[in-house]
Amino acid sequence: MAGGGPTSGSYSPLTGFIFIFNLIVGAGALTIPHAFAQVGLLYGALALGLLALTSYVTATFMIEAIAGVNALRKRSRELETGSTPSTREERSEDESEDVTEDSNRDENLTTEFMPLMVPTQDDDRLEKKLRIRSPELGFDFDLTRKMELAQMAHTLFSHNGILAFYTCVVVYLYGDLAIYAVAVPKSLREIVCPRPHPEAVVWECSDGLNSSDLYRLFVILFGVTLGPFTFGHVHKTRTLQLITTVIRHASFTLMIVLAVIGIARGEGRSAEEVIAYEKPTNIATFFGVCIYSFMCHHSIPGLVAPITNKAKVGKVIAWAFLAVLSVYLILCVSATFRFKPDEIDDVYTLNFKKYPIRAVAYFLSLFPVCTLSANFPLICITLRENLHTLAKNIGSETDEQREARHARMSSTRAFFVRNLYALLALVPPLVVAFFTEDVSMLVGFTGAYAGLGIQWVVPACLVYCLRRQLEQERSRSPTDLKTHATNPFASPFVHMGWLYLIMALSGFAVVLITITHGLH
């Protein structure tokens, strides 16, 4: 869920669908059946459908924002030069001198496009002259150029908005890493020292160790084994992606098939029992778990850019979300009919650890280990870079001052700074994992707060700021260009009511889950 898509090359819409589907359906989906069973079939299905729809809406906001910001940035660059391919040759020398004089007078003004800044009179005068000199400048809405979330935030948000954005991203990545650092050692512990019965909290293992000691030992080994990669550059190869994808699909298919086989043998619950079970008081934790499992928004820019037919991007996103929702529902419903709510582990693969065919049991138990271990170093490096970027944006230095200071920095100090941020990314998640093995709590907490921010709030804020900026651009543009300022990749949810609904649902979810965590 936290990974990214391919960064180079191109692929068909079908391949794009597969990448997006694989990105969303990660190991975090293994925590959904437990939360689903706790609220009941009806409430679980309705809540899952609502969250899938809301996440899809904000995904379309991301597509609109990517195309819009690309258009604004390209238009800004053209306005700064005051030329287009045709008008550049036709411009007379005296016009060029006029613009140059105006530019020299305004040389102390920033040339970076900052739409949330209030323009000065000199800015307006120069921009107006450039617009008159460049009547062919339009709005080139495009998804071909990869536009990262951070770039969109820097283009559309104020300084405080950028800091809030990075804080949200950092918290999300910390939570993601903590979940990984818990799930892998816990799965290994269950394989080496199986739980004697479902109610067991701490049990004895070999060599004088109990289950808690063994879990903490695996946390340490996990950090020692994968931690060193945080200090370098790790790139996920296509071979590794293929292997983890095959393991992921085989595991989900196997769990669904085994649950159906158990139900067919009469080992499951009756339909009356499943339908009658309802516990809406558990909906808060379920919200946190589910919203986390629909996370893909931070990687959408890298996933849609290589798609060859950009006109089909909207359909690709829609079908991907529909397919993911279908898989989640099938997985959760089969688990709910096969096991009682208190029998479903917070990591669903653990329910099959005692399956008679030991090869199947070991394969499913190792599923989180393989997929999460492959992603852990990559997310650590991502967090390291985001921490570094966040620290640079806290100060009041300009980009030029910051670059000059880094140029003067010695290689030894640069090495120390890079490793310091690597340690800041690596150590806290391991510390959290060392003291807790409650994956549902971690998923619910990070999903409810940082997950809400990345998946719902940030896309809504981006598209809101973008629409305002485009409206300002249209009002300042020549009349014949206003008809060409329509974003062909705009979300179908254009009414302001959708933005209000997203923000209202975000606020409601935060309050609900905060109260729930406070009561516990």
Query: What are the C-alpha distances in Å from 475 to residues 83, 448, 465, 469?
Result: 20, 39, 16, 10
The whole-number pLDDT of residue 258 equals: 93
CA distance 66 to 88: 28
21-35, 132-146, 480-494: the lowest-pLDDT one: 132-146
The whole-number pLDDT of residue 346 equals: 81
CATH number for region 13-74+146-194+205-230+274-519: 1.20.1740
Indicate the SS3 state at residue 138.
coil
Q: How many residues does the chain have?
A: 520
The DSSP bridge partners found for residue 307 are 11
**Contact predicate 297/223, CB 8 Å:** no
With a pLDDT cut of 70, the percent of the chain lying above it is 74
The whole-number pLDDT of residue 46 equals: 93
**Contact predicate 219/227, CB 8 Å:** no
More confident residue, 314 or 347: 314
Any idea which residue has 């009919």 for tokens?
A: 337
More confident residue, 500 or 82: 500
Q: State the Cα angle at 412 between 407 and 413, rounded to 5°.
A: 60
CA distance 437 to 181: 9
Q: What is the mean pLDDT of residues 48-71?
A: 92
pLDDT digits 0-9 by tens, 447-462: 667 778 888 999 999 9
Q: Give the residue extent of every domain in the chain.
A: 13-74+146-194+205-230+274-519, 83-133
Q: What is the mean pLDDT of residues 185-208?
A: 84
- Average pLDDT score over the chain: 77
What is the model's pTM? 0.74
E runs forming strands in 15-70: none
Query: What are the C-alpha distances in Å from 39 to residues 324, 328, 407, 518?
Result: 20, 15, 56, 19
pLDDT digits 0-9 by tens, 263-281: 999 888 888 888 888 888 8
Model confidence at 130, pLDDT cuts 50, 70, 90, reads very low
The whole-number pLDDT of residue 387 equals: 82
Q: Among 145-149, 331-335, 363-367, which range has the highest average pLDDT? A: 331-335
pLDDT digits 0-9 by tens, 153-192: 888 998 888 888 888 888 888 888 888 898 889 888 888 8
**Contact predicate 141/68, CB 8 Å:** yes
